[in-house]
Amino acid sequence: MEFTFSNYYKEFSCIAGSCPDTCCAGWQIVIDNKTLKKYQHFKGPFHNRLHNDIDWKEHVFRQYNRRCAFLNEENLCDIYTEAGPKMLCDTCRNYPRHIEEFEGLREISLSLSYPEAASILLSQKEKVHFVTIEKEAAEETYDDFDYFLFTALMDTRDLLIKIIQNRNVPIRKRLWKVLAITHGFQLCLNKNELFKWEEIRKRHEDSGFRKIFCDKVHSRMNTSDTSKDLFKNMWKTIVPEMEVLRPGWKEFLK
């Protein structure tokens, strides 16, 4: 099994009570079945607390004022301090680590919703790169795995990273190129014409950032709306799809 992660991944460690926010509030934390059994058979004075503050039907921790029942006033986890780190469920043990699994490959990233993870990424001075290692692990097989699509996505992503990291080109032009490529790829996918993508991608690479490419972008730009209007429209598209975790978030956006 191959494992791929960013070069800064191992810099991360949870800063616990020092975090300016908490990941244990505002959303339901689902408990995996293996950990649920551990909680059921836990011995000692903490057993009653576990029994009372878990919704056994829904397999989640109970919440009080939208905070996990085990989150104390110092924003620390009582399960961790009272029962030990081995008693954390998979969600709490792994977050903000995120794993995407494909046949023979697991990609591990850090969720930028966690302030310390975002801080580590945004403080990188050099180009981010990715490390791949091999180690033994149980592999999943997927009956519907589309190897052709997977290969096209991986190759295209490598190209997008190469483009966005080319600091010899102004960032605006790099973003134009990324948008043009992803738009073309999505059209091929929607039309079930992925077999055409290699040729289209080659055209994108060959056109580079030359005048013919820039003129084409300019010809399709929306010039009737102000930047403020465009920004408002962007948020109208994105915000309804976002899960709101805190009261007052939408007012903050306004």
- Read off the tokens for 235: 């948020």
114-128 confidence digits (pLDDT tens)? 899 999 999 999 999
Whole-prediction pTM value? Answer: 0.76
Q: Is the pLDDT of residue 243 over 90?
A: no
* Whether the Cβ atoms of residue 70 and residue 78 lie closer than 8 Å to each other: yes
d(CA 252, CA 250): 5
* Segment 205-213 mean pLDDT: 90
Split at pLDDT 50, 70, 90, the class of 224 is confident
Give me the mean pLDDT over the 142-163 stretch.
92
Q: Give the pLDDT score at 133.
A: 95
DSSP string across 28-64: --BPPHHHHHHHHT--STHHHHHHHTEETTTTEE-EE
Average pLDDT (213-226) is 86
Number of alpha helices (DSSP H) and beta strands (DSSP E) in the chain: 11, 8
Q: What average pLDDT does this structure show over 36-41?
A: 95
Question: Measured between alpha carbons, how far is 155 from 148 in angstroms, rounded to an integer?
Answer: 11
Average pLDDT over the chain reads 91
pLDDT at 247 over 90: no
Q: Look at 184 and 243; give whichever has higher pLDDT.
A: 184
Which amino acid appears at position 249 of this protein?
Answer: W
Q: Is the pLDDT of residue 56 over 90?
A: yes
What confidence tier does 202 reach under pLDDT thresholds 50, 70, 90? very high
Between 245 and 61, the more confident residue is 61
Is it the case that residue 191 has pLDDT exceeding 90? yes
* Residue 151 in this model has a pLDDT that exceeds 90: yes
Phi, psi dihedrals of residue 242, rounded to the nearest 5°: -90, 140
The pLDDT score that the predictor gives to residue 230 is: 83
| Single-letter code of the amino acid located at 56 | W
**What was the pLDDT predicted at 238?**
76
pLDDT at position 234: 82
- State residue 251's pLDDT score: 84
Mean pLDDT value across residues 166-171: 94
**DSSP 8-state class, residue 10:** G
- Which of the pair, 153 or 140, is modelled with greater confidence? 153
Q: Is 168 helix (H, G, I), strand (E, B) or coil?
A: coil
pLDDT tens-digit series, residues 61-84: 999 998 999 999 999 999 999 999
